Amino acid sequence: MAKHRGRGIASINYPIGMNLGGDPSQALVHSNPSGKFTVSLSSIDLGQGMKSVTRQICAETLGVPVEDVYVDTADSDTGPHCMGSFASRGTHRVGNAVMAAAKEARGVMMEAAAEELEVNAADLETDGRGNIHVKGAPHRSISTKDVAIAAQFKQGKTISGRGIFLVPLSEVNPETGEMSPATCYAHACLVAEVEVDDETGEVAMVRMDSAYELGRALNPRLVEQQLVGGAWMGISHALFETPEPYYPDPTHGPRDFVEYLMPGPGDTCPHDIAVLERPAADGPFGAKGPGEMCANPVLPAVANAIFNAVGVRMDELPITPEKVLRAIKAQGGARPQARR
Amino acid sequence: MTKTPLQFRHNGRDVAVFVDGGVNLLVALRELIGDMTPKFGCGQGGCGACSVLIDGELHLSCLTLAEAVNGRAVETLDGLKDGPNLHPLQRAFMEQFAAQCGYCTPGMLMAAKSLLDRNPSPSRAEVIEAISGNICRCTGYEPIINAVLAAASSGRARA
């Protein structure tokens, strides 16, 4: 009876978003008389940072400070349409829609500024600090606040913009049935190290090392947060949680947080993450999306690590101590594989 | 139904309410006092989202009868910051990105405060033990553990 260490690897390609009906998201951007901007969305922030990232994208596109942008996701009845916060689509789909809306609003803002400064809009640029000035002549300047006031009360204009992102329809090749359901893929590779107790069947996480390629990381701290939290959920799916019943029938399944097993703070392990940035051609500022994919490679990597440790191939989730123990018994004992 | 008068200290302030028999402290705090910082997660002591301090000791407000805190001092997340100044734990949670959806955060902060109040220099294992009654679905716990350790070391730096 012993504890065996094993290491497993997994790589994934992860398609961003889906293709049903073009997977659309819409955004509206408008300025308030104070010179601040509001982004209206129906895309919900579940804590993954949708508001932060769309705020950054809007501010960067408009050329105004990020403090001057407010993102309103209050109500999906009255907001512009969005398919939802899932499939890792938020940053890519919603971000593209916000970028398009902000681009249109910027055009109106620059026209309004041009009228006030009595110059051609093409000769103007933003300084990113709340001012618009003539290229090469920073003293010929007007604040975005004054432009918003002038547009609203003098010129009778709304500084606003509309944006939508729609995935182009992928034609099916009649000969082969081939099509391209996704426009952009993220990638990841993860190595998991586990310790398997051949007496109890328990699997303990020892460490994880991973590399994620997810386009440009628009907010690196939020990306890291997603990857750390998502890997925990990967551990949970690999080793712990299931809504399926144990014994002897479904009424004995977990009903609540007391019975639904998830890893606690003591069941995690050190996780070293490398983020590789290869900007996506059709992503907002090159972003893809770190959403769901942060959990995905953990499961196969853990299953491979268990094989490496004790020589059993686990093909059913979650990999509970009982399943491991039965498999070890069926092959007549633990058979540690060559260390890789 | 007859109501029972109930008086206690709520974050340093005296409050007096009338409660129905059998009402738990979580409901009293949220619906009668209007303090929405303790969260309802499971209502059976399985998640820790409703954690509060009673006379400085960590308790699950969903499993505590409101009447049981008569004459005692209840601290919730609402009382953690000092005016506009965040508590060192709150600052550390922000800096370490220790919240995502935020639903577990009030309970995590109270569990962490309870730990640091009695042990200002906890080890990593002690932090894990202290928050092991609190479920978090988003963060993977690591940022929360790191935030509590960071708050502890910033407290030592000031002392």
Residue A174 bridge partners (DSSP): none
Distance, in Å, from the CA atom of A302 to the CA atom of A339, rounded to the nearest integer, reads 15
Residues of chain B below pLDDT 70? 1, 156-159
Q: Torsions phi, psi of B99, nearest 5? A: -135, 140
Query: Considering CB atoms only, which of A229, A262, A271 is closest to B135?
Result: A262
Q: Quick check: A265 and B131 CB within 8 A?
A: yes
Query: Considering CB atoms only, which of A46, A228, A257 is closest to B143?
Result: A228
Enter the pTM of the model: 0.91
Q: Which residue out of A46, A222, A232 would a mutagenesis test of the B interface target, given it has the greatest number of B Cβ atoms within 10 Å?
A: A232
Q: Quick check: A258 and B44 CB within 8 A?
A: yes
Which residues in chain B are closer than 8 Å to A272, comparing Cβ atoms? none
Q: Quick check: B140 and A231 CB within 8 A?
A: yes
Alpha helices (H) in chain A, listed in sequence order: 50-62, 95-117, 144-150, 220-235, 298-310, 321-330
Q: Quick check: B100 and A229 CB within 8 A?
A: yes
Scanning every residue of chain A, which has its alpha carbon at the shortest distance from the alpha carbon of B41? A257
Collapsed DSSP state (helix, strand, coil) of residue B103? coil
Torsion of CA B120, B126, B130, B134, to 10 degrees: 130
Q: What domains does chain A contain, in order, with CATH numbers? A: 3-15+185-330 (3.30.365.10), 20-165 (3.30.365.10)
Structure tokens at A254: 């977990």
3-class DSSP string for A165-188: ECCCCCCCCCCCCCCCCCCCEEEE
Structure tokens at A307: 């094989």
The answer to whether B93 faces chain A, any CB pair under 8 Å, is no
CB pairs under 8 A between A and B: 67
Torsion of CA A256, A260, A266, A271, to 10 degrees: -120
Of B48, B58, B55, B113, residue with least CA distance to B80: B113
The answer to whether A222 faces chain B, any CB pair under 8 Å, is yes
Shortest alpha-carbon distance between residue B2 and chain A (Å)? 32
Which residues in chain B are closer than 8 Å to A229, comparing Cβ atoms? 100, 138-140, 143
Distance, in Å, from the CA atom of A3 to the CA atom of B17, rounded to the nearest integer, reads 57
What CATH number does domain B88-158 carry, 3.30.200.20, 1.20.1250.20, 3.40.50.1110, 1.10.150.120? Answer: 1.10.150.120
pLDDT of res. B158? 60
Query: Considering CB atoms only, which of B100, B128, B139 is closest to A266?
Result: B128
DSSP-derived secondary structure letter, A137: E
**Predicted complex ipTM:** 0.89
pLDDT of res. B2? 83
The answer to whether B141 faces chain A, any CB pair under 8 Å, is yes
Residues 8-27 of B with CB under 8 A from A: none
Of A194, A187, A169, residue with least CA distance to A275: A187
Shortest alpha-carbon distance between residue A205 and chain B (Å)? 13
Domain boundaries, chain B: 3-79, 88-158
Query: Considering CB atoms only, which of B44, B100, B128 is closest to A256?
Result: B44
Residue A265, preceding peptide bond in cis (omega within 30° of 0): no
pLDDT of res. A258? 82
pLDDT digits (tens, 9 = 90+) for B54-75: 999 999 999 999 999 999 999 9
Residues of chain A below pLDDT 70? 245-248
Query: Considering CB atoms only, which of A47, A256, A271 is closest to B138?
Result: A47
Residue A29 bridge partners (DSSP): A39, A161
The answer to whether B62 faces chain A, any CB pair under 8 Å, is no
CATH superfamily of B3-79: Beta-grasp domain (3.10.20.30)
The answer to whether A240 faces chain B, any CB pair under 8 Å, is no
pLDDT of res. A247? 65
pLDDT of res. A168? 83
The answer to whether B40 faces chain A, any CB pair under 8 Å, is no
- Type and span of the H or E element at B124: helix B124-130
The answer to whether B132 faces chain A, any CB pair under 8 Å, is yes
The answer to whether B135 faces chain A, any CB pair under 8 Å, is yes
